Every structure is written in structure tokens, then in C-alpha cells.
A and B are shown apart, each in its own frame.
Chain A
Amino acid sequence: MVSAVVRLPTPQLEDALARYRAAVAAKRLRTALGLALLAGALVLAGIAGEVDATKFLANIHRLPAYLWNLAPSLSWGNLAKDLDDWFWNLGEWSRLLVDTLLIAYLGTLLGMLGAFLLCFFASANLENRRWVRIASRRFLEFCRTVPEIVFALLFVVAFGLGAMPGVLALAIHSLGALGKLFAEVVENIDMKPVEGATATGAGWISGIRFAVLPQVMSNFASYTLLRFEINVRGAAVMGFVGAGGIGQELMVAIRKFYYTDVSAILILIIATVIVIDLATERLRHWLIGFEQRP
């Protein structure tokens, strides 16, 4: 077969090859530098994190043993009784799970209301006063940067043990996270309806009600549902610091090595989280469809 490939003249070819090699070498050098930096950071982190390979290797067999202990003793012949033994405290645990869901619900609702009120002050297209904008943005940032469990720790001291500090902690964190997302949605709206409403003499409130809300409602609802999913997970561990829900029971079970209780509660939590995720996903798809209908 006759080759139809055009060959470049040798000097040109050599020049091109040299350039290619130089480019590859530069890329490799950059990668090597990055890896060296990473290795240095890893060594420092290993020292700071007290990583001890020998200790790790000596103890690693405990992890499978622990997981093995989590498994309950089930037998086919006596399955109903064994399951009953495994989930012996199902009534109490379900009650706590419902509490957990309600904590997440209230936290999301209160946070959403706060974010709804604040987001209009934090968005550049509706708020002209610079200092108001900056102040509300910094406030939202503070609310979402401090972890919710830290708020919960503080609130447990102030409000006492129970579900109330948990709800308030989730609410404040959701306020920060949702406020930012809401403000971004509001900044991306079409301003023409707002101008139209202003031109007909609408004040601030009616302008928002008739020109802004119709544009942002579906996004707000969708973000709130997503936040609810996250808050269900958050509410499940609020009990670790005494802020209500099923976390307290789980922590006691883990600390006291009640292995089968740990696995039973974990299964309940995971199942709840999965059900909530699926349900909110359904609801969000339905909302999007609802919005598109006239």
C-alpha cells in the first residue's frame, strides 16, 4: 500500500518534536512539583494527626470484628422472634425518629422564613443601600460558617436540654445557607416585571409580591426541600450534644457497646433518610411540572 501521509521536512519535524517534548516536560515538572507539595503536606499532616502505622496495623483487625459484632443473630427457623429481639425497642425508637423528623421540619421552616425575609436585603438588584447589603450578607455568612452542632452546644447551655436548642441550631444554620441561595436566585430574576410594578406605583412589598415572588417561588421551594433532606441528617446527630432526637439513644448504644442496638438504630436512620430523599425528589419533580403548567 502506498503511504499517503505527508511527511514534513526534517528540520521542521525536529523543531516540532522539540517543542512537544518541552511542553510535556513542563507539564511533568508542574505535576511533580504539585505532588512534592502534596507529599510535604501529607508528612506534616501525619505528624500533626498522630498517625502511627504500626498502631494502625496492630489494631486494624478490630474493624471487621466490630462490624461483625453489629450483625444480629438471625436464624431462618425463628426469624420473626429474632427480628423482634433485634428491634426490641422499636416503639421508643420510632417515637424518637418522628421527633427527629419534626426537629428537621421546624428547623427548615424557621430557617426558610428567616432566609425569605433577609434574602431581599442581601441581593444587589433590590437593595440599593450598600451597608444593608453587606451587613445582611455577613450575617448570613456567619450563620452558615459556624457548624450547626456548635450552635446546638451553645443553645443547650442557654435553653436547656431538649429539642428546642436542636431546632434553633438547625434554623440558624439553614437561615445562613438558604439566605445565600435565595439571594442568588433573586439576583438572577428578570427585572422588567419589577420595573413594571414600580411604574404602576407599587411599593416595596407589593412589588415583591407581584413581580419577584412569581419568578422565584419554585426555586425557593426546591432549595428548601433540599435543605430539609440535609437537616434530617443533621437532626439525627443533634442528640449527641443533648439537643433532642434519636442521636442520644444512638450515642448511648455506641458508647456502651450495645452492638445490635447500634445496627438497629443505624438501619432505622438510613431507611428514614433514604425514604425522605426519595419523597422530596418526587416532590421537587412535581413542583417543577406544576410550575410549568399555565
Chain B
Amino acid sequence: MSALRPAALAEMEALRRRHPGVFCRSLGRRALVVFTITGLLVLAGYSFWRLEFSLTRFGSGLAQLAHVVALMFPPAPGNQLPVFLGALAETLAIALLGTLTAAVLAFPVGFLAAKNVVPNMFAHFAVRRVLDTIRGVDVLIWALIFINVVGLGPFAGILAIAMSDCGAFGKMFSEAIETADKKPVEGIASTGGSQLQAVRFALIPQVFPVMASQVLYYFESNTRSATIIGIVGAGGIGLHLSEQIRVLDWNKVAFLVLMILVTVAAIDWISSRIRFAIIGRSAMVVG
């Protein structure tokens, strides 16, 4: 190493002449990089100013935060452990029922939105746009809306999750159907099967494992969503979390956060096992 460097430095001029491309990068590209970074920084500066960031507020906030975190130890449920466990069960119930309702609702919609099942441009376009709109609204917003419709409680949460996932499932199901192999469908048609029979015996066996694994994946992510929709009053453990934060009972807050973390990790583990089992078993069919 030590010998290489002086040798290379001494030969710099010759190296430059032999490999001009390595030493001179295109000026336009470099200007673009500098311009982009400057733009990003200026925008960041403007945002800091506009959103009223201040170092003093940040500092005092950090001190406050450190104080809060210190108060969190040891995490303890107080005498509310049964209540919290009940809320956790409610959270899981919301996630499960919401996901399944969404899947059941989205199943026919997925076929309607698939180009190879309903070859009508207009229907395809309309269904897709509706699904996009539903997907564009956050689950917390749906929760607030359903609280107005069915009142406070876990039922509003179930409907909110079902609604927001319906859009996502509809899109993903239709994509799974569109990418399915056409040959089995032609086979069924050639033996005289109707279109409905083609869907049942040629499409569904191909797309069902994909759909099942997507539903399980969304069940995982909905467990996370279900923990927070309680913050706006739609049932589950989030209700207790926001309540304990409001009354500044930090030991309980820490305990609730730990409960959420453990549950999410457990659900992730279980669902990834099941997903692997489903996909692994039918990899031949899907692939």
C-alpha cells in the first residue's frame, strides 16, 4: 500500500491521459447533483421556518421527553391488567374481522376489476378509480367517519379497517387474476365449461393461494392499524393508550406500548409461518 500510493501519485499525469473518463465527470451531471442538494436544503430550511421549529423548543422538548422516558420505568399495568388484556383481544378481533370482511367484499370486486374476466374498458376504469379513492383515505379517517355512522366502539373500527382494505384488496386481487395463466381457462372452455365454471376451476385454484397470503399479510399490518384506531375512539388498545397518555400515567403507557410490540411481533411470526405454508404448498400451481 505504502509503495503503491506514491507511485500512483508520481504517475498521475500519465494516468489522467490514459483514463480521461475516470477523472473528468460530466459537468452537467455534477451541476445537477449540486443543484438538487441545494434545492432540498433550501426547501428544508423554508419548512423549518414555516412549521415554527425552534432550537429552544426542541431542547426543552427533549428534556421533557427524557423526563417522561425516565418516568416510564418500570412499565407496570397497575390494577388494570384485565382491562388491558381485554382491549388487546378486542384489537386482534378488530384486525381479524376487518381483514376478513374486506377480503370477502373485495373478492367479487377483484374479478370485476380484472381485464381478462370483464373485458369492458369502462367498467375496468370505473372500478379501479373507485378502489384508488377508497385506498387514498387513511384508516383513521374511515374510523372517524364510521364512528359517526355506528357510534363509538370496536364495531366502527372493524368497518373502518374493512373499508380501507377493501380498496387495497380489490386492486391486488384483480392484479393476481390478470397475471394468472390463461391456459387452464382455455382448457375448461374447450371441454365445454361455462365462463363461471372457468372462473371456479381454472382461475380460483391459481389465484387463491396468492390471495390468501396477501390477506394474511394485511392481517399483520392491520394488527398495527387496530392498535391505533382506538385513539379516535374506535375500540381496541389505542383507546387506553391515548387515555393513559392524557392522564400522564407513564408506567401504564410503557406497559401498553410493550404489549403492542409483543403482540405485533407474535402475530408477524405466526402469520409468516402460515403464509409460507400456503405459498410453499402450492408454489407449483402459482409459479
Contact = CB atoms under 8 A, between A and B. Distances in A.
B112 interface: no
Between A41, A48, A59, A167, the greatest number of chain B beta carbons within 10 A of the residue's beta carbon is seen for A48
B61 A155 contact: yes
Interface in B202-251: 224-225, 227-228, 231-232, 235, 241-242, 245, 248
Chain A contact surface mostly: helix
B245 A154 contact: yes
A248 to B, nearest CB: 12
A191 interface: no
B1 A200 contact: yes
A147 B149 CA distance: 26
A146 B257 contact: yes
A273 interface: yes
Interface stretch (A6-14, A71-79, A158-166): A158-166
A276 B91 CA distance: 32
Contact of A149 (B5, B231, B253): B231
A255 B145 CA distance: 8
Contact of B241 (A42, A153, A158): A153
A45 B96 contact: yes
B217 to A, nearest CB: 16
A134 to B, nearest CB: 16
A276 B201 CA distance: 41
Contact of B65 (A41, A47, A155, A162): A155
Residue of B61, B64, B90, B242 most packed against chain A (CB within 10 A)? B61
Interface residues of A, number: 61
Given A48-B92, A50-B153, A199-B1, A102 B241 contact: no
A199 B245 CA distance: 54
B231 A153 contact: yes
A121 interface: no
A112 B151 CA distance: 40
Contact of A163 (B51, B257, B265): B51
Given A51-B97, A153-B245, A159-B64, A145 B261 contact: yes
B89 A164 contact: no
A66 B149 contact: yes
B194 to A, nearest CB: 23
A147 B230 CA distance: 12
B51 A52 contact: no
B259 to A, nearest CB: 12
A62 B260 CA distance: 33
Interface string A49-84: 111100110010011001000000000000000000
Contacts of A142: 261
A46 interface: yes
Nearest to B1: A201
A45 B93 contact: yes
Interface string B56-78: 01100110110010000000000
B155 A49 contact: yes
Interface in B125-178: 132-133, 136-138, 140-141, 144-145, 148-151, 153-155, 157-158
Nearest to A167: B51
B155 A164 contact: no
Contacts of A146: 257, 260-261
Interface residues of B, number: 64
A186 interface: no
A150 B241 contact: yes
B135 to A, nearest CB: 9
A172 to B, nearest CB: 11
B44 interface: yes
A142 B257 CA distance: 10
A88 B94 CA distance: 37
B248 to A, nearest CB: 7
B48 interface: yes
A255 B233 CA distance: 12
A214 to B, nearest CB: 11
A237 to B, nearest CB: 4
Interface in B1-53: 1, 4-5, 40, 43-44, 46-48, 50-53
A250 B141 contact: yes
Nearest to B225: A147
A50 B154 contact: yes
Nearest to A273: B136
B113 interface: no
Closest 9 CB pairs of A and B: A159-B61, A49-B93, A45-B93, A48-B93, A163-B51, A158-B65, A102-B47, A158-B64, A270-B136
Given A157-B245, A158-B68, A163-B52, 6 more contacts: A46-B97, A49-B157, A149-B231, A240-B140, A241-B231, A255-B144
22 contacts: A45-B93, A47-B93, A49-B155, A50-B235, A102-B46, A102-B47, A109-B40, A145-B224, A149-B231, A150-B228, A153-B231, A162-B51, A164-B57, A164-B58, A167-B51, A200-B5, A201-B4, A233-B138, A234-B138, A244-B51, A262-B145, A273-B136
